[in-house]
Amino acid sequence: MPIQFREEFRCSPEVLWLHLEEPELQKQWMKGLLSNRATSPAPTRVGSTFEMQIQEGRKVSTYQGTMTAWEPPRRMALTMQGGCFGPKAKMAVSYRLEALGPNTTALDYSCGLEQAGAVMRFFMLLFGWMAKMQARSFFKTLRKLVEKS
């Protein structure tokens, strides 16, 4: 069951996009993100790969990711695997940006597990609300950053 919601930000799509795709800016709103580095040649496009290191409690987890959609500054989608998901599960994340006015942007966010085993699907049902709360917390911090830019 994917997590989906829509948030509005008082900024242009270009400002919001920059904070979503730039690794150094991601660290400012994604709690626990230690690094996000490209593992394929620039420029970023569909099929580009990256590696993220995320502090999860006392442990640093490594995730491998692949861009599945790349349409700056409107749409970005990716899959990630590794870390706490294990080798078989993939997390799919999607960001869609829509200009609502000269200085207002809507962000449609979606996140869910693909190819997950029964245990991981059960885990996501139990803790899906926690993941949604974490995402909302991330976007609250993101809002503060982009709206002062």
Residue 29 phi/psi, 5-degree rounding, is -120, -15
Least confident of 68-77, 82-91, 117-126: 117-126
State the Cα–Cα distance between residues 50 and 79, nearest whole angstrom.
10
The yes-or-no verdict on residue 114 having pLDDT over 60 is yes
Average pLDDT over residues 124-149: 81
Rounded to an integer, the average pLDDT of 29-46 is 96
Reported pTM: 0.88
Strand order in the sheet with 49-56: 3-9, 104-114, 90-101, 75-82, 59-71, 49-56, 33-38
CATH of 3-147, one of 3.10.20.310, 3.40.605.10, 3.30.530.20, 3.40.50.300: 3.30.530.20
Instruction: Say how far apart CA 82 and CA 64 lie, in whole Å.
Output: 6
Q: Is the pLDDT of residue 140 over 60?
A: yes
Report domain extents, the chain. 3-147
